[in-house]
Amino acid sequence: MDWIMDPKWDEINWNSIRFLKPAGWQITNIGRNYLMLGTHGGPKMEITWESSPKSVSPRIGVKQLQTRILKRHLATATAWNPCPSWVQALSSYQTSGFSWNNSTHTGHGLILSCAFCHRTSLIQFYQTHPADDHFEAIVPRLLSSFRDHPEDDRLQWAVFDIRATLPANFQIKTYRFLPGFITICFCSKNEQITLYRWSPASVLLAGRKLSEFAGTLRFYPGDASEKMWDENRIEWEYHRSYGIWTRFLSRLSVGISHQRFLIRHVPEKNRILAVNAESKQPIDPSLFEQISLDYEITPA
């Protein structure tokens, strides 16, 4: 159980939910509003969350959410009084506790409701039999770092080894996490930002340049102006030709007419990162540059 002795903690930032966790607890399953963390030894923590609809009053919405979440995920749970250290760590949330038991695990969990964002989260901690003493030290620290809404108008994202910051109006649209390839697509009203990450770069770039690798990508803007900052950083920008007729059509159509794409090789991390922005109107250059700058590989 290396994670017990592991003093390293890292963060998870996923779709408005943020918390710190022992580095050894890794994501084993991920959904839009769902995370399961575990180690080689089995599951450690599960979290799911939902927001109440705007049409429902916050108090009723939270109550409905609590019932729905509990019904869906924990039909056999019984009420449980959380330890004072757990409650203290979550003093800004309305909390209720529950527990469950099966042949291999004991589970303790909390339902948290936030008065600020009207989001309800269900967190479960799994313990193997016999109960693990170290859990008591880990859970309060993890819970005290828990946040379910951003503190400003920027939303941070940190899962697996990538970290990014985007304006809060960019909502997650699609995502894929495959060995060697990660992509997350965000969209706002008129813009779409897609983040990409490939690894290991040493294998993908063996015998070829970054520009050659980029040329093989499906979304590579072939007919575009290319700016090569250096051998490890290339940028393309594409504007559809701008006649009156095209401009008129671009206003009517839902298709994109601007694309900006930055790809960079991070040799010290053995990764390739890319940001692709697609929009009807040219994307704000400072926004694109800030997103590209904030998009990074987390320290190991």
Distance CA 265, CA 263 (A): 7
Contact 277, 261 (CB under 8 A): yes
Which residue is associated with the tokens 């990660």? 182
Contact 14, 156 (CB under 8 A): no
* Choice between 153 and 268, CB closer to other proteins: 268
* Choice between 23 and 168, CB closer to other proteins: 23
* Choice between 204 and 283, CB closer to other proteins: 204
When binding is defined by CB under 8 A, the residue of 10, 11, 20, 28 that contacts other proteins is: 28
Strand bridging mode 17-22 / 26-31: unpaired
By CB under 8 A, residue 26 contacts other proteins: yes
The string of DSSP codes covering 185-230 is EEE-SSEEEEEEEE--HHHHTTTS-HHHHHHTSTT--SSSEEEEEE
When binding is defined by CB under 8 A, the residue of 131, 137, 203, 249 that contacts other proteins is: 203
- Rounded alpha-carbon distances, angstroms, from residue 167 to 50, 179, 228, 274: 21, 28, 27, 18
- Paired with 99 in beta bridges are 78, 108
Which SS3 state, helix, strand or coil, does residue 4 take? helix
When binding is defined by CB under 8 A, the residue of 188, 211, 270, 290 that contacts other proteins is: 270
**Candidates 195-203, 226-234, 250-258, 278-286 — which segment interacts with other proteins by CB under 8 A?**
195-203
Which of the residues 72 through 111 are near other proteins (CB under 8 A)?
none
When binding is defined by CB under 8 A, the residue of 13, 48, 113, 199 that contacts other proteins is: 199
By CB under 8 A, residue 179 contacts other proteins: yes
By CB under 8 A, residue 42 contacts other proteins: yes
State the binding string over 143-172 for other proteins (x if CB under 8 A, else -).
Answer: -----------------xx-----------
By CB under 8 A, residue 40 contacts other proteins: yes
Contacting positions for other proteins (CB under 8 A): 26-28, 40-42, 160-161, 179-180, 199-200, 202-203, 206, 269-270, 300
